[in-house]
Structure 1
Amino acid sequence: MAKKAPVSQRERLVLLDKFKPGTPTAAQAIELLQQMIRVDTTNPPGNEIALARMLEGWVRSRGHGFVRTTILESEPGRANLIIDIPGTDPGSNPSWGFMSHLDVVPAEGTWTHPPFSGELVQAAHDMFVWGRGAMDIKYLGAANLTAAFTLLDEGFRPKGNIKILLCADEEQGGHKGLEWLAKNHLDAIKVDCCLNEGGGFKLPIKDDFVIQTGEKGVFWTKLTIHGNGGHGSMPPDYDTTAIYKAARMLAKLKRYKAPLVIGKEYIATFRAISLPNAIKGLLKVKWLLRGLLAIAEGITGIKLRQVVLPLASNSIAVTNFHSGIKENSISPDASIILDIRTLPGVGRDQVNAMIRDAIGDDLYGQVEVEPLDNQACTTTATDSVYYTTIARITNEIYPGANIVPLLSQGSTDSKFFRERGIFAYGFCPCIKDDDLTYDDLLSLAHNADERISITNLMLGVDFAYRVMKQA
C-alpha cells in the first residue's frame, strides 16, 4: 500500500469560510496590505505620517462613526495612529490592544520584485505579497484592520474597549513611537492586554507555536578606539594604529562565547515544547548544550544554535565598523557598534563587564565605551486569562496546537507596555508555507525579497477576528 503523503500545515488550518484565500475579504486584505507597502516608510527617516494619514482615511471610509482615530506625532512626520473602538460595557470587561508598526528597515540588496511595489505573485502552492514590510510587519496592521472592520460591518460591538495601534520608529528602538506615547500619552494607548509581533510562528516540532512572553534586553554600544595616524605612504607601527587595535577587538569578539545560563524562562520554554523528556533533560545541561545543538543541526538542517543559544546566554553582535575617510590617510580613530542582547537581571554594568571579558583588560583599557541604548529585559506572566484565550483560539484555528512561551532575542515595542505592568504578548499565528523552508522564513524580515503568503495574511485576520469577537 502506498504511503500517505503527510498533511501540510496549510491543510491543518480551520479558517472561517469568509477568511479563506480567494474570498472577497481576502481580496480586501491583500489590497490594503499592498497600499501600505507602497507608502515608503523606511526608517530613517520614517515619514510615518504619510501612511498614518492613508490608513486614517481608510478607516473613515468604512463609515462607522463611533470609531475614533487619533494621530500623534512625536516630532514632525513621526506619526502614530490610534484607532479606538469603544466597548458597550468597558467597566466590566477587559480592554485589548492590537499593535503593529508603520516603519520599515531600508530595502538593501537585489530584489526579484521592486521592494515598494506590493506585487502579488503566484508561487507553486500559494500567492505572496512582496515588498519591504510585508512580513515585518505591515501585514499584521492590515490583518488587524481587516478583522476589526469585518466585525463592525457585521454589526458587532465589543463589550470591552479595543485599540488598534500603528506606531512609528519601532525599527530604531521605538523612541519616537510607542516609548514616546507611553511617556507622554499613556491614557491614549493604555489597555489591559496588548497583542503584538514577536511570536506565533509554527515550530518544526509537532504542533508547537511559540508565544513571545518576554524579550531580551537591548544594549547598543559604541566602542571608539584611538591610535597613531599618518600618511598611507609612511605607515606607523601597525600595532599602534586604531584600525589594527580594532581588528584585534573584532577577532576577540568573534571568538567570544558568553556563559550559558539555564534560567526560569529557558526552563519554561523547554518544559512546554513537544520533545521527549530525555532530550529536554539533556538540553538543560550547560556543558552538553552546544554540542547537542551542533549534532541536531547536522541531522535536521535547521540552524538550531542560532535559535536556541540566545535563549540561554547574553549575546554580542558586531553590526558596524568605521574608520577613516581618505584613501591615503591612516585614521587615528576607529569605531565599532555592538548590538548586545541580555537575559533578565542584566544591566549596563554587567554589559560593560561582558565587553571587558570579551576583548580583554588590555584592549578594554584603550577603548571608550559609549552606551547608545539601555533597555533591560522584560517579561509577561503566562498564568493569565489572556494567555489562556490566545491558546484556546489558536487551537480553534489549528486543532491540537501547543503554545510554547519564549523569551525572544528580538526586540519589539511590547517592552514599553510590560515596563508599565501591562500584559503584552507577541503572537500572530504564522505557519511554514509549502513554498518556503524554515530557514527562508527566518530570513525574510530585513532581507531582500521579503514577502508574506496570502494564507498567513488571512490566518492573521482570522486570529485577530476571533480574539476581538470575544472582547
Structure 2
Amino acid sequence: MPSGTETMTAEESPVVQYCSDLIRLDTTVGRRSERSAAEYVAAHLAGAGLTPLLLEGAPGRTNVVARMAGREPDLPPLLLHCHLDVVPADPAPWTVHPFSGEVIGGHVWGRGAVDMKDMVAMTLDVVTTLAASGRKPRRDVVLAFVADEEDGGTHGAQWLVEHHPDLFADCETAIGEVGGFSVPSPQGSLYLLETAQKGAFTLELTAQGLAGHGSMLNDRNAVQVLSRTVAAIADHPFPLRLIDTTRTFLERIGEAFGIEEAAQHPEKALAALGMVGRIVGATLRHTATPVVIQAGSAPNVVPSRARAQIDCRAVPGFEDEFLAELRRLIPPEIIWNTVPRGSGHENAMDTALTAVVTDALLAEDPTAQVVPFCMSSATDARHFSRLGLTCYGFVPLRLPPGTDFAAMFHGVDERVSVDSLVFGSRVLDRFLSAF
C-alpha cells in the first residue's frame, strides 16, 4: 500500500502534495502548454526507476509514456492513461485561486483537482511506493500522461495512437477517466465503473437565403430557416434506448434504493442518485445540443448565409438510427454534414478486470458495490480504443457525503477531498498488484 499513510495524517500523504503541485502548474488548454506538468511527472517516474519518454505532438504539447515492469511479463500489459491539460478557469468567482493548489478544509482546491490531476497524483504515488518497497504490479503497466484531452486529443492521445502505436501494441485493456467514484445508498457505497461511452460527432448546418434589407419582407431569410431547424432538432424527443450497461445500472440502482422495475421507470432511479443523475441521465437516449450559431454582422441586413453546429451524442449501437432521425428533421434547403469526434463503445461488465476492481474496492470499503454505467461525454478512450483496447473508466474515489461530483467537472471551486486521494491511491495499488 502507499507508504506511510498508516503513520501520517492524510494531508501529509505524498499523494496530496503531488496533486497540489500539479494544480499549481497551469496547463490550461489553448493557453498554456503541458510541458511543465510533463517534466514534473517524468522526474518522479525517473526517480522510481522508470525510463519516461517525452513525446510532443506540437511544441510544448508534451506527452509522457513509460512502462513499469510486472511480476508476470507474459500477461498482456495494462494501459493506464491520464491527461495533463485542464479547461480554463476565471479566478473571479472562485473561493480560492484555481491554480493555487491550496489544501483547505480537508480538500485540495483548484482546476484539475478531479479532471484529472487527482489520478495523475494517485498514479505517481503508487508508482513511487511500489519502487520504494521493491514490489511490482502483477503485469506490465504502460503509463501514458497525455496532452490536449480537453480539446480533442489532437496533440495527445490521438497523436500518440497515430504516430507511436508501437508503445501500446501489446496492451489489451486500458483504464482512464471517468468512473470509480462512490455514490451513497441505503445498501452501502455504489462505485460507478464506466463500461460504455456514447459516440460523439458535430452536426454542421448551413442555410442559404436571400440577402436584403432588414426592413423588407423576405421569405428566404437564412436565419429563419436555420433557426427553425435548430429548434426542431433540439426539441426532438429522441426515444429511450437502454443498452445492456444502462439496463444493468438501473437494475442495481433499483435494488440499492428499493425501486421496483427501475429499468421501466429510469427517472426514479436517476432521482435517487441526486446530482450524479445528471451524468447518467444523458445516456438513456441520443442527445443533440446546439452549441454554435453564426449569421450576419449588422442589425439591418439579412445575411445570405447562416450556420450552426450541434453537439450530437449517440447511444452506442444505435448510431445509424440517430443519423436517420436527424436526416428526417433537416429540410431539403439546409446543407449539412457530420464531423466525427469519436466512436462509442460498450464493454462487458463481468470480466477479470471488473472482478479485481471489486476486490480492491471491498478491501478498502467493505460496503462497496460496483455498478456499470455509460458515460455521456467522450474521453481519450475513443482514441485508444482504435487500437483494439478494451477501455474502462476507473479513477477510484470515495466521495464525502453531499459531494456534487458532477459540478466539479469544469466548474467553479473544483476540489477533491484529501481522504478521497488517499483512498484512491490505496485502491489503485491493490488493483495494479492483483490485475
**Fold conserved between structures, TM > 0.5:** yes
Deviation at 1:32, TM superposition (A): 1.8
Give, in whole Å, the separation in 1 of the partners of 2:12 and 2:333: 58
Q: Which residue of 2 aligns with 1:284?
A: 263
**Which of 419, 430, 435 is the aligned partner of 1:466?**
430
Q: Which residue of 2 aligns with 1:166?
A: 145
Matched, 1:366 2:328: no
Q: Which residue of 1 aligns with 2:372?
A: 405
Matched, 1:456 2:420: yes
Cα gap change, 1:393/1:278 in structure 2, threshold over 3 Å: closer, same or farther? closer
User: How do 1:251-290 and structure 2 match up within 5 A?
Assistant: 251-273=231-253, 275=255, 279-281=259-261, 283-285=262-264, 289=266
Give, in whole Å, the separation in 2 of the partners of 1:264 and 1:36: 38
Deviations 1:15-44 (CA, angstroms, capped at 9, x unpaired):
978336953884422222222112222222
- SS of 1:247's equivalent in the other structure is helix
**Which of 132-141 and 77-86 deviates more?**
77-86
Give, in whole Å, the separation in 1 of the partners of 2:83 and 2:232: 36
Deviation at 1:45, TM superposition (A): 5.0
**Which of 312, 324, 333 is the aligned partner of 1:353?**
324
Q: Which residue of 1 aligns with 2:19?
A: 33
Amino acid at match of 1:148: V
Q: Is the 8 A contact 2:2 2:125 kept in 1?
A: no
- SS of 1:446's equivalent in the other structure is coil
Q: Which residue of 2 aligns with 1:98?
A: 80
Give, in whole Å, the separation in 2 of the partners of 1:375 and 1:302: 29
User: How do 1:434-449 and structure 2 match up within 5 A?
Assistant: 434=401, 437-438=402-403, 440-449=404-413
Give, in whole Å, the separation in 1 of the partners of 2:2 and 2:56: 37
Deviation at 1:396, TM superposition (A): 0.6
Give, in whole Å, the separation in 2 of the partners of 1:87 and 1:25: 30
**Which of 30, 42, 64 is the aligned partner of 1:44?**
30
Matched, 1:310 2:282: yes
Deviations 1:61-85 (CA, angstroms, capped at 9, x unpaired):
x2x44x1100122222222111222
Deviations 1:374-401 (CA, angstroms, capped at 9, x unpaired):
4221122223211111111111111021
Cα gap change, 1:277/1:305 in structure 2, threshold over 3 Å: closer, same or farther? closer
Give, in whole Å, the separation in 2 of the partners of 1:372 and 1:113: 38
Deviation at 1:342, TM superposition (A): 0.9
- SS of 1:166's equivalent in the other structure is strand
Give, in whole Å, the separation in 2 of the partners of 1:152 and 1:17: 11
Q: Is the 8 A contact 1:41 1:102 kept in 2?
A: yes
Amino acid at match of 1:416: H
Give, in whole Å, the separation in 1 of the partners of 2:417 and 2:256: 32
Q: Which residue of 2 aligns with 1:390?
A: 357
Q: Which residue of 1 aligns with 2:126?
A: 147
User: Please, which runs of 5 or more residues in structure 1 have no aligned partner?
Assistant: 1-14
- SS of 1:68's equivalent in the other structure is coil
Q: Which residue of 1 aligns with 2:61?
A: 78
Q: What is the aligned residue count?
A: 431
Deviation at 1:427, TM superposition (A): 1.3
Give, in whole Å, the separation in 1 of the partners of 2:175 and 2:380: 11
Deviation at 1:276, TM superposition (A): 6.7
Q: Is the 8 A contact 2:2 2:126 kept in 1?
A: no
Amino acid at match of 1:241: N
- SS of 2:241's equivalent in the other structure is coil
Q: Is the 8 A contact 1:192 1:423 kept in 2?
A: yes
Give, in whole Å, the separation in 2 of the partners of 1:280 and 1:263: 19
User: How do 1:293-332 and structure 2 match up within 5 A?
Assistant: 297=271, 302=274, 306-326=278-298, 329-332=301-304
Amino acid at match of 1:426: G
Q: Is the 8 A contact 1:151 1:469 kept in 2?
A: no
**Which of 376-385 and 305-314 deviates more?**
305-314
Normalised to the residue count of structure 1, the TM-score between the two structures is: 0.82
Cα gap change, 1:402/1:143 in structure 2, threshold over 3 Å: closer, same or farther? same
Give, in whole Å, the separation in 1 of the partners of 2:223 and 2:13: 54
Cα gap change, 1:459/1:320 in structure 2, threshold over 3 Å: closer, same or farther? farther
What do you get for the CA RMSD once the two structures are aligned? 2.9
Normalised to the residue count of structure 2, the TM-score between the two structures is: 0.88
Cα gap change, 1:229/1:432 in structure 2, threshold over 3 Å: closer, same or farther? farther
Give, in whole Å, the separation in 1 of the partners of 2:19 and 2:302: 49
Matched, 1:418 2:418: no
User: How do 1:177-256 and structure 2 match up within 5 A?
Assistant: 177-190=156-169, 191-205=171-185, 206=187, 207-230=189-212, 234-237=214-217, 240-256=220-236
Cα gap change, 1:16/1:101 in structure 2, threshold over 3 Å: closer, same or farther? closer
Amino acid at match of 2:351: S
Amino acid at match of 2:5: F
Identity level (%): 26
User: Please, which runs of 5 or more residues in structure 2 have no aligned partner?
Assistant: none
Cα gap change, 1:117/1:230 in structure 2, threshold over 3 Å: closer, same or farther? farther
Give, in whole Å, the separation in 1 of the partners of 2:379 and 2:6: 29
